[in-house]
């Protein structure tokens, strides 16, 4: 599955706003174990993807958040934040969580980083905070999914959302 995703990312046009395949692979490997913990504890977990000396990518300390949010600790001064990375917690049929929130997008923009969001259904999203666009990198089940997850409770999920579309979605507009 990971190989197919990476191939698709390599073939995607550069203007698509998609991140580099090696970055996505690293995020997927990190989010897998965090998803299971997030479901078991019904909490969001978060971190930063950082770039260190020589361009090496690594993660900051993992932070356990609440049921509806998580704030990663600011990274070390010798590393450059590339992206925020977080889970959306356990499945709850009353809480839309299969897409990034406007708060996710706005926080990333304010911090000057991109973002990655893992959903209870096992989707992975990338937030391009410069363009204020969220792109679904992979469909349900590409990351671990909450066993209680029920597809369709959040309606039809698009492959891409602008900030304006997320505002409408959160307000309950089509």
Whether residue 83 contacts residue 92, with contact meaning beta carbons closer than 8 Å, is answered with no
| Main-chain phi, psi angles of 30, to 5 degrees | -75, -40
Distances (CA, A) of 48 to 59, 72, 87: 6, 7, 12
Tally of residues, the chain: 174
Task: Tell me the whole-structure pTM to 2 decimals.
Answer: 0.89
Residue 11: CB atoms within 10 Å: 8
Q: What is the pLDDT of residue 18?
A: 80
- How is residue 22 written in tokens? 């090696």
Residue 110: CB atoms within 10 Å: 9
pLDDT by 10s per residue, the chain, length 174: 444 443 344 344 444 568 999 999 999 999 999 999 999 999 999 999 999 989 999 999 999 999 989 999 877 678 999 999 999 999 999 999 999 999 999 999 999 999 999 999 999 999 999 999 999 999 999 999 999 999 998 889 999 999 999 999 998 865
CATH topology of domain 2-8+22-171: Cytidine Deaminase; domain 2 (3.40.140)
Distances (CA, A) of 43 to 25, 33, 46: 23, 13, 10
| Main-chain phi, psi angles of 140, to 5 degrees | -55, 135
- The ranges assigned to domains in the chain are 2-8+22-171
Q: What is the pLDDT of residue 13?
A: 41
């Amino acid at each position: 599955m990971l190989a197919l995703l990476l191939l698709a990312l390599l073939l995607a046009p550069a203007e698509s706003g998609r991140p580099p395949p090696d970055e996505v692979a690293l995020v997927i490997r990190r989010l897998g174990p965090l998803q299971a913990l997030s479901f078991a504890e019904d909490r969001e977990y978060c971190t930063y993807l950082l770039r260190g000396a020589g361009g090496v990518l690594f993660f900051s300390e993992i932070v356990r958040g609440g049921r509806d949010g998580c704030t990663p600790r600011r990274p070390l001064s010798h590393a450059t934040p590339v992206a925020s990375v977080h889970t959306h917690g356990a499945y709850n049929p009353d809480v839309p969580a299969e897409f990034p929130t406007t708060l996710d997008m706005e926080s990333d923009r304010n911090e000057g980083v991109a973002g990655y969001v893992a959903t209870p259904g096992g989707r992975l999203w990338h937030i391009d905070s410069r363009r204020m666009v969220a792109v679904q990198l992979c469909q349900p089940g590409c990351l671990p999914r909450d066993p209680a997850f029920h597809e369709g409770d959040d309606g039809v999920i698009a492959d891409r959302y602008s900030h304006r579309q997320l505002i409408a979605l959160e307000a309950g507009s089509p």
